[in-house]
Amino acid sequence: MTRVVPGSSRRRRVTVIVAAVGIVTLASLAGLLVGPVSLDASGVMHELFGWLPLVSGDGLDDRQATILWQLRAPRVALACVVGACLAVSGAAYQGAFRNPLADPYLLGAAAGAGLGATIALVAGTGGSLIAGTPLLPIASFVGALVGVGIAYAVGGAMGGRSTTTGLVLAGVAVASFLTAVQTFVQQQNSETLREVYTWILGRLATAGWGDVVLILPYAVLSVVVLLLHGRVLDAMGLGDDEAGSLGLRPSRVRLAVIVAASLATAAAVAVAGLIGFVGIVVPHAVRLVVGASNRWIVPLSALCGAAFLVLADLAARTVVAPGELPIGVVTATIGAPFFALLLRRAGRIT
């Protein structure tokens, strides 16, 4: 009798996708309902779905509606987009580099964004701009892309062609260098230390619709491109030689994935700072459920990444209410033990 492993059947995978959509929806509803001001659940439902026939009841008053639409909804939306971007980029990097430890920050995106943000904050407090906005998202976006660009150029020069090892090593070197520069800039302007530190730990707190609108084009474009790469990433998993003998050009595929994933990552860090762990823990958790095919891992990572970050943000603003935890701290404290548990469970099965 053939032993059918979990995740091998198509039907099961479709079920998992449907379940993931359900989880994102529930997480988002929780994100809308929970907060310092309690909103009546039926009121929120009416506010959200009042346009549908057969939905009746009282809506929210103006103040509550403002809290819902101007404070909570953009924050939930931003968490969804950022979480999806980071998780999909992580999954794509792991596929393209055939390295389970690859994450969206592998090629210096975080360090570049950190330097960009620090420069923006320093310039912002020195000049007439208020606390770095709106310079901050643009500077960190550009910083992330510059970091990856340098790493790619250096890695390509090292290996002749862009081999994975060359790129990863170049990423390490570039990240260290940019972090050193960032530390130097920060030392010279210690009055911005607190702001820089806050940014590095990630923030969704000041999210408004502006942030969502700002990153949505990049996020949608990149995520769609990476979703379309699922099957190609599976072929890349065979190694560069076999992928080449199947008619692909591995270094070109890798470049396409790096460009798309870096755009998504840069967009995410631009509005939310450095949120660690999502890009590693989410794709790995997904892989344990649906198996090795990137055709399923990539879309599921998008959904689960979104749900994970919405829930992490919910924890960030409720655990020490009325204060807030930095979201990067939450993703790591929830993510790490959860990850260890998943791996332990997977170890028992196989």
Partner 1 sequence: MNLELRDVGVELAGRDVVRGVTCSLSSGGWLGVLGPNGAGKSTLLRAIVGLIPHRGQVLMDGRDALGVRRRDLARHVAMVVQKPTVAEGTTVLEYVGLGRTPHIPYFGSMGRRDREVVAEVLESLDLTNIVARPMHTLSGGEVQRVFVARALAQEPSMLLLDEPTTSLDVGRQQDVLELIEALRRDRGVTVVSALHDLSLAGQFADRLLLLHEGNQVAEGIPDEVLTERVVHEFFGASVRLVHVDGSGHVVVPVRRYIPVGQSERS
Concatenate the DSSP letters of all residues of 53-121 into one string.
TT--S----HHHHHIIIIIIHHHHHHHHHHHHHHHHHHHHHHHHHT-TT--TTTTSHHHHHHHHHHHHH
One residue of 30, 157, 292, 340 binding partner 1 per CB under 8 A: 292
Minimum CB separation from partner 1 for residue 109, in Å?
24
Secondary structure (H, E, C), 255-283: HHHHHHHHHHHHHHHHHHCCCCCHHHHHH
**Does residue 22 touch partner 1 according to CB under 8 A?**
no
One residue of 19, 49, 210, 249 binding partner 1 per CB under 8 A: 249
Question: At residue 273, what are phi and psi to the nearest 5 degrees?
Answer: 75, -165
Stretch that binds partner 1, among 61-69, 145-153, 287-295, 300-308 (CB under 8 A): 287-295
**Does residue 232 touch partner 1 according to CB under 8 A?**
yes
For residues 148 and 262, give the distance between their C-alpha atoms in angstroms, rounded to a whole number: 7
**Does residue 163 touch partner 1 according to CB under 8 A?**
no
Q: Is the separation of the CB atoms in 92 and 260 below 8 Å?
A: yes
- Say how many C-beta atoms besides its own lie within 10 A of residue 341's C-beta: 11
**Does residue 165 touch partner 1 according to CB under 8 A?**
no
Identify the DSSP state of 171. H
Q: Kindly state the tokens that stand for 6.
A: 């979990």
Minimum CB separation from partner 1 for residue 234, in Å?
6
Q: Is the separation of the CB atoms in 275 and 268 below 8 Å?
A: yes
Minimum CB separation from partner 1 for residue 13, in Å?
12
**Does residue 5 touch partner 1 according to CB under 8 A?**
yes
Q: Which is nearer to partner 1, 134 or 291 (CB)?
A: 291
For residues 168 and 149, give the distance between their C-alpha atoms in angstroms, rounded to a whole number: 13
Minimum CB separation from partner 1 for residue 80, in Å?
25
Q: Is the separation of the CB atoms in 293 and 104 below 8 Å?
A: no
Site for partner 1 in 70-109 (CB under 8 A): 98
**Does residue 286 touch partner 1 according to CB under 8 A?**
no
One residue of 185, 205, 220, 238 binding partner 1 per CB under 8 A: 238
**Does residue 158 touch partner 1 according to CB under 8 A?**
no
Stretch that binds partner 1, among 13-21, 138-146, 234-242, 275-283 (CB under 8 A): 234-242
Minimum CB separation from partner 1 for residue 348, in Å?
15
**Does residue 246 touch partner 1 according to CB under 8 A?**
yes
**Does residue 46 touch partner 1 according to CB under 8 A?**
no
One residue of 157, 245, 320, 341 binding partner 1 per CB under 8 A: 245
Stretch that binds partner 1, among 129-137, 144-152, 182-190, 241-249 (CB under 8 A): 241-249
Q: Is the separation of the CB atoms in 211 and 78 below 8 Å?
A: yes
CA angle 154–175–89, rounded 5-degree value: 90
For residues 64 and 67, give the distance between their C-alpha atoms in angstroms, rounded to a whole number: 5
One residue of 64, 293, 318, 333 binding partner 1 per CB under 8 A: 293
- At which residue do the structure tokens 């920050």 appear? 105
**Does residue 9 touch partner 1 according to CB under 8 A?**
yes
Site of interaction with partner 1 (CB under 8 A) = 2-5, 7-9, 98, 228-229, 231-232, 234-235, 237-239, 241-242, 244-249, 287, 291-293, 295
